[in-house]
Structure 1
Amino acid sequence: MSAPVTLDRREGPYGEVVLRRRGDHHEIIANGCFLMDTSDGRSERRLVDAAFETLTAATGPRSARTSEKRPIRPALLIGGLGVGFSLAHAAADSRWGAITVVEREAAIVDWHLTGPLSGISGPAVDDPRSVILRTDLLAHLRAVKHRYDALCLDIDNGPDWTVTEDNAGLYTLAGLALCRTALTSGGVLAIWSAQPSPEFEQALRNAGFSGVRTEEILVARGVPDVVHLAVSPA
């Protein structure tokens, strides 16, 4: 493998974040922890598709709570912009309506708006359905007044492997309760992880979600990635 070349390095309120290029691909490193790169992306795309499929299977054309038709194009919240695969994939799918991305690292947003990652996310950023919010996910969930039909979260390497200690609050009962409150009846929570976690599956059940399951995604190297899926109660 070629040696990485550092393109940008910044210190922020949550620590250090670095963008590197290795050959034809880019990597994001946060506080010395490898987060993701542009070499594959199948699991980030699957995160979005699995959420849509689960949403359709869970609710069908009508909401169990209101007996009204769910919006023709459901509203999606993506937690974590990363290298932009999830946003780009969602924006390429006309079935999604409003697409909101929450990203707290200003550097990552800049890399997409004016930097090397714009090649991945450029059309998605310009899509009129898309908006990027520069804020912390938990802060957004506490403040948001409307609800989403799906939450796709790719904040850490999984609930058992967080990038910063304060991220652990997202996977507690209190954090999961915020996710549940931000979802419509029958809405779907999908969380990317580098490894399965039976303990986290139980935490989702304890937080009041139903239909909890874990889907494996084969990747080019190493053990499969997974997506934890759960449905908000009616």
Structure 2
Amino acid sequence: MSVVRPGTVPYPTAWDWQRRLASARADGSLARDLVFLLEHPPVYTLGRRADRSNVLFDDATLRQRGIEVVPVDRGGDVTYHGPGQLVGYPILRLSGMRVVDYVRALEEILIRALADVGVTGERSTGYTGVWVGDQKVAAIGVRVSSGRVTTHGFALNVHPDLADFTGIVPCGISDRGVCSLASLGVDVTVADMADRVEAAMAEVLGATLEPASLDALSPLSSKVAS
């Protein structure tokens, strides 16, 4: 499984990469699964069932804070991505795994990565993601194509600006909060957590993870680079 860590990438660019690579994975022109581990500039994304009223900031405030709003094709409601948050986009061809099992696997990966820095992350009945008490530390939202290839993924709050979460009802859940590793008193970088997520992903998925660059994603390298 290839691991691509391109740094900070505008959300629309990363979404385009996902769609192109998922199509290639489905038709076999991309030979192996991969995962992007990256950060985004501030953005609110609206899932297919999102209620636009869950974006609380008005247009002027969004412009002032530099937050983009992007409707996307994943499940779920509204969520936030921004600097200080580790975002993971696995492009996996599921074989013999139900979508719900895949989501549980992503949760397990994050729970193990959190445990490695002394944080007890938990599942919460009726919700996706990983929680510390009644505060969400990692969100999950996925899409599985007709070719059984995954896009979208997870977002782990390492040290984002939590004030940006006040502009939405995160995931449409109004009676729970959001936390980060920084707010829990854990001093760790996004790169450190990416290392831990890679290790947990290898364990949970039973995969060998190998670093790769965008240029190495043949046959899509020219398209992705453009």
TM-score (normalised: structure 2) = 0.30
TM-score (normalised: structure 1) = 0.29
Greater relative contact order structure (CA < 8 Å, 6+ sep): 2
